[in-house]
Amino acid sequence: MPSANVRGAQPSADRRLSTLVRHLLPSSARTATTTTTTSAADSLEAFPTMASPSSVFAGLAQAPEDPILGVTVAYNKDPSPMKVNLGVGAYRTEEGKPLVLNVVRRAEQMLINNPSRVKEYLPITGLADFNKLSAKLIFGAESPAIQENRVATVQCLSGTGSLRVGGEFLARHYHERTIYIPQPTWGNHPKVFTLAGLTVRSYRYYDPATRGLDFQGLLEDLSSAPSGAIVLLHACAHNPTGVDPTLDQWEQIRQLMRSKSLLPFFDSAYQGFASGSLDKDAQSVRMFVADGGELLMAQSYAKNMGLYGERVGALSIVCGSADVAVRVESQLKLVIRPMYSNPPIHGASIVATILKDSAMFDEWTLELKGMADRIISMRQQLFDALKTRETPGDWSHIIKQIGMFTFTGLNSDQVAFMRQEYHIYMTSDGRISMAGLSARTIPHLADAIHAAVTKLK
């Protein structure tokens, strides 16, 4: 025979469930429940948001694919053996394979073999060595801003995270909440800054007629921007066009921006990856730092170290004085803490290991130049192939542009034709990743371009 305690357990449990029902159900349902003999369990089952076969999210519309990442989704579904993916913004070898740098593998192995390494949380600002070395890499070891402790640097989640943290910091603490971005620019820029709380405007940058820089339009638009506005600048290898200002043009941009107190926000995703020289690719940034003015800098190690999936980046803010830099860092912590608390340790440790060891640094620069040189070679080979086919039009912009991407000038109909007939995948604006090409695939691409511009205007 069961004990009294067991016999009394069921009524007690039902009372607790009834109390829970009274708290969960709307007031009208509570009244109905108390005036009927319906059990508490039945009441819970009847409540429409609990254990219902339908979802509270059933009304959501299917979101569209990301216009860049969606290219790879479509490519992966294509069974054709001739397919070529020129949409992905990641380096590929001549064999079309992802590349892990030898120096990265060595650094990673060193970290794994170190028994003293632990998996503790990093500080909110990230790995201290990584931050110091990142600032020196982009600004130069002899930079006055670094020597005077005027730089506040925090480790972020690659370039995207650095832009978002910087955007939210400006939305909270800067008097002008409008940011001007080049037209066109990386597709994520307007989304990142809008969600960060800034108002996004554009300035002219690319001239479709020349497939080069609309420098006059750029100057006119920045001249008409309100004093103090934020201006996003691609440090080098502009994405998606591959069109960069000359040093003389950069100097004119700098003078104009400083005269109007426009705040530069640099995005550096390709340092060393564009020309093969870390210093050359940082010249535009260092021109602005040298004049003593303030700026923001978002860095990424996705391309130049091939650490795409490690999400390694840094945000640096060059301030007017050392004491301001200390306060800026304190406020950056308040942006980061509720966003992702603190950054991951592994990728930043790889970068720091390479940057602080002179032999490994030299090895990295050689591998980096190898990647840049292969992309430059792909540009020349594609240009030569189109010239050989006597493809209509001037294709010299392919070898004049720089970095991972080429803005071909192909229109959306031509892009669609090349996907349908030649299984070549790129974004609808005609941007192609030169890093996705090889000596094997260039003839196929050249044939496709020739057919597209011949048959479709």
Q: Check 267, 281, 364, 447 and give the catalytic one.
A: 267
Is 221 an active-site residue?
no
Residue 78 in any domain: the answer is yes
pTM of the predicted structure, to 2 decimals:
0.86
CB 427 within 8 A of CB 67: yes
Task: Extract the tokens encoding 216.
Answer: 């006059």
Residue 174 belongs to some domain of the structure: yes
Whole domain around residue 128: which residue ranges? 121-356
Angstrom distance (rounded) from CA 236 to CA 309:
22
346 plus 368 within the same structural domain: no
Final residue before a domain boundary, out of 356, 385, 417? 356
356 part of the active site:
no
Q: What is the β-pairing status of strands 405-407 and 84-85?
A: unpaired
The CA distance from 168 to 197, in Å, is 6
Evaluate whether residue 347 is within a structural domain. yes
**Where does a domain end: 356, 385, 412?**
356
Judge whether 7 lies within some domain.
Answer: no
In this structure, what CATH number is given to the domain that contains residue 293? Answer: 3.40.640.10
- Catalytic residue selected from 214, 244, 303, 364: 303
3-state SS class at 246: coil
The position carrying tokens 């429940």 is 33
Q: Are residues 316 and 233 in the same domain?
A: yes
Chain centroid offset of residue 208 CA: 25
Note whether 372 and 350 are same-domain residues.
no
Helix/strand/coil for 373: helix
- Does any domain span residue 220? yes
* Count of domains forming the chain: 2
Classify the phi-psi angles of 249: left when phi > 0, otherwise alpha if psi is within -120 to 50, otherwise beta. Answer: alpha
Q: Is 26 a member of any domain?
A: no
Query: For the domain that residue 377 is a member of, what is the CATH number?
Result: 3.90.1150.10
In 22-126, the DSSP E strands lie at 84-85
- Is position 193 within any domain? yes
Q: Which two tokens stand for residue 221?
A: 């638009």
**Secondary structure E strands in 74-144:** 84-85
Q: How far is CA 361 from CA 78, 107, 352, in A?
A: 40, 11, 10
| Residue 247 and residue 393 in one domain | no
Claim to verify: residue 86 and residue 199 sit in the same structural domain:
no
Task: For the chain, 457 residues long, give each residue's pLDDT as a single digit of tens.
Answer: 444 444 444 556 666 666 655 655 555 555 554 444 455 555 555 555 555 568 999 999 999 888 778 888 899 999 999 999 998 888 999 888 899 999 999 999 999 999 999 999 999 999 999 999 999 999 999 999 999 999 999 999 999 999 999 999 999 999 999 999 999 999 999 999 999 999 999 999 999 999 999 999 999 999 999 999 999 999 999 999 999 999 999 999 999 999 999 999 999 999 999 999 999 999 999 999 999 999 999 999 999 999 999 999 999 999 999 999 999 999 999 999 999 999 999 999 999 999 999 999 999 999 999 999 999 999 999 999 999 999 999 999 999 999 999 999 999 999 999 999 999 999 999 999 999 999 999 999 999 999 999 998 7
CB 284 within 8 A of CB 119: no
* Encoded tokens for 450: 């020739």
Same domain, yes or no: 328 and 374: no
* 267: annotated active-site residue: yes
Same domain, 305 and 351: yes
Q: What are phi and psi of 407, to 5 degrees?
A: -90, 100
204 plus 76 within the same structural domain: no
> Same structural domain for residues 202 and 88?
no
Q: Are residues 192 and 292 in the same domain?
A: yes
Final residue in a domain of this structure, among 325, 356, 387: 356
Q: Within a domain: residue 334? A: yes
Q: SS3 of 160, please?
A: helix
Claim to verify: residue 339 and residue 199 sit in the same structural domain: yes
Q: Is the dihedral of CA 434, 435, 438, 439 positive or negative?
A: positive
Enter the tokens of residue 147: 């020597």
Are residues 374 and 249 part of one domain?
no
Cis peptide before 190 (omega within 30 of 0): no
